[in-house]
Structure 1
């Protein structure tokens, strides 16, 4: 399903967030930014470690105007980002393959976010609430049914956040855009929509008998 095209404000947050290639696809308003972020689960974080570029995929969630991630206190990514080095975060949601009349005009429909900033470690007095927000973002109602982190697990987990003050959204939607001289080429053109979804739940073979699938998980497969 293609995302609606929301009018974009005239000015991006910074020069490096300005969409230069196909600028009409750029969006800088908060509602569009949050909408794309809240539809995804995995981001890719780029940073440098010992003068080497690194890109690592990881789960994320959003609280207000911050993007949150978590990891082991001993992980290279968490330890490095906690120092406050510059980082770049990218999220991409594929919405469809676009088939045109020429190879050059084939494309993809997508929603993407690129954000620049610095991460900071979330203090312990907010860390548990942040982990709860992460669980609730994936499956609302799950936190109340499970055991929270014990003292050792809590200590071994680092939560980091980055302000979303320097971010841009880029969206491509709709049919192919062919040149007038190619419109008579007799080939099928259009969009193959792409959607991500969940299959039927697979129970843990060691789960106790008689435990029903909770409603918040049944909702995953309703669509």
Structure 2
């Protein structure tokens, strides 16, 4: 689908900034596997994190070749024939190798990841302990080799279907957050913080 290819780096950055979940693909113990995980763009690099005990993160940290796939579904394309029905989507694959982050860069990258999920949250929390940092693997991949496909067309129906009685168009896909639900052990005197309120406003 070369006609859907987009080479604008800004469009790739916009997609990476819109999605929270990516799939990291790597070969572990001779088998190709894809792991869903939170991703965050940090300038010209892509960040992932997890436990230092994770076999796939250890493989990435050791320099294994990898790819990261992200997809945003934007609308359902309702055509007059099932054959022409589809989606509006933006999908990218970033290829490369990850590098483990350490010391101040590691802690700053962790803040980037936290704030990607909940903007401003890192300033509301205590700093991670040395033990927590030691148990956390944070990896970065330079965004240099990538492929982006975008589909945003109207239904491409046959003339005889256009002349028929079936409806055609698009239905935008919308996502959002509900009202915050406090943890059962949260004290009554602790208000909802700005980072959480901002999600549901």
Using the size of structure 1 for normalisation, the TM-score is 0.86
Whole-Å separation in 1 of the counterparts to 2:31 and 2:120: 41
Whole-Å separation in 2 of the counterparts to 1:174 and 1:204: 44
Counterpart of 1:12 in structure 2 is none
Whole-Å separation in 1 of the counterparts to 2:96 and 2:179: 38
Structure 2 residue matching 1:188: 3-state secondary structure: coil
- How far is the alpha carbon of 1:45 from its aligned partner? 0.9
Q: Is the 8 A contact 1:94 1:195 kept in 2?
A: no
More helix by share: 2
Match of residue 200, structure 1, among 171, 179, 188: 179
- How far is the alpha carbon of 1:158 from its aligned partner? 0.6
Whole-Å separation in 2 of the counterparts to 1:165 and 1:24: 21
Structure 1 residue matching 2:82: 3-state secondary structure: coil
- 1:84-140 per-position Cα deviation (integer Å, ceiling 9, x unaligned): 111111001111111111121010111111111111111223100110111122223
Counterpart of 1:15 in structure 2 is none
Using the size of structure 2 for normalisation, the TM-score is 0.95
- How far is the alpha carbon of 1:52 from its aligned partner? 0.8
Whole-Å separation in 1 of the counterparts to 2:93 and 2:119: 27
Whole-Å separation in 1 of the counterparts to 2:24 and 2:120: 29
Counterpart of 1:170 in structure 2 is 149
Whole-Å separation in 2 of the counterparts to 1:140 and 1:101: 42
Match of residue 59, structure 1, among 34, 38, 46: 38
The 5 A counterparts of 1:47-196 are: 47-196=26-175
Structure 1 residue matching 2:185: 3-state secondary structure: coil
Gaps of 5+ in 2: none
Whole-Å separation in 1 of the counterparts to 2:35 and 2:70: 12
Q: Is the 8 A contact 1:28 1:167 kept in 2?
A: no
Whole-Å separation in 1 of the counterparts to 2:63 and 2:167: 50
- How far is the alpha carbon of 1:55 from its aligned partner? 0.8
Q: Is the 8 A contact 1:92 1:113 kept in 2?
A: yes
Cα RMSD for the two superposed structures: 1.3
Gaps of 5+ in 1: 1-20
